Copies of this chain bind each other. A is one copy, B any other.
């Protein structure tokens, strides 16, 4: 069933009002009629099967039929901080990262980021990224839509990470030593509902100065397997491993 994330303001006890882009999607893309059913997700993570009662030009009304108790959110909260990569790679990272269960995405200006975001560009980019995570959340049946942060500096990033239970960064040099730390050594210490901050460099990775600064602020350097991954593959690898560790290893 098609899922829509509806802002809290338009929910009442029995009825939900849907406005904006979703109206176009419901009427023109999915071609739903009065009586058809959709799933509406509330920002608090709850979701309900709803029946369409009114299809108007710029507004759709639905009645709540049944509350769902399915929860497909990761049992830990994962934030992906991504050094600004080239081209449209960030779009791919947030789309796939949403499918894989990330809670937050924080782009940051790394030393080796070739791309720069000025204010005008940032507004446009953030709007586009927010649209991508909303659609990916709907498609992958997430209960919550991940948050996209504005672009940060490394020191701002370190501040943001200070409240997290575990902080790691992917460091290519770590993959080359025999004394490396793996993501699994960290995940084994993480308990339910704890928060993990995963920091990924841009193309070319972190500079030595950045690595020192991260280590000085409680970040552990880890490798993400023995092969060298492209920047846009690294966060997806980390998220898939976190899902496997917490969601799949514990079942038959």
Contact = CB atoms under 8 A, between A and B. Distances in A.
Interface of A: 72, 96, 99-101, 139-142, 180-185, 225-230, 233, 236-237, 240-241, 243-245, 247-249, 251-252
A223 B99 CA distance: 14
30 contacts: A72-B227, A96-B230, A96-B233, A96-B236, A99-B228, A100-B225, A100-B233, A100-B237, A101-B225, A101-B227, A139-B228, A139-B230, A140-B227, A140-B229, A141-B227, A141-B228, A142-B227, A180-B251, A182-B248, A182-B251, A182-B252, A183-B248, A185-B251, A185-B252, A225-B240, A236-B237, A236-B240, A237-B240, A237-B243, A240-B244
B248 A225 contact: yes
Contact of A184 (B141, B182, B185, B244): B244
Contacts of A99: 227-230, 233
A184 B228 contact: no
A30 to B, nearest CB: 15
A142 to B, nearest CB: 6
Given A180-B251, A183-B244, 18 more contacts: A96-B233, A96-B236, A99-B228, A100-B227, A100-B233, A100-B237, A101-B225, A101-B227, A139-B228, A141-B227, A182-B248, A183-B248, A184-B249, A185-B251, A225-B240, A225-B247, A236-B237, A244-B244
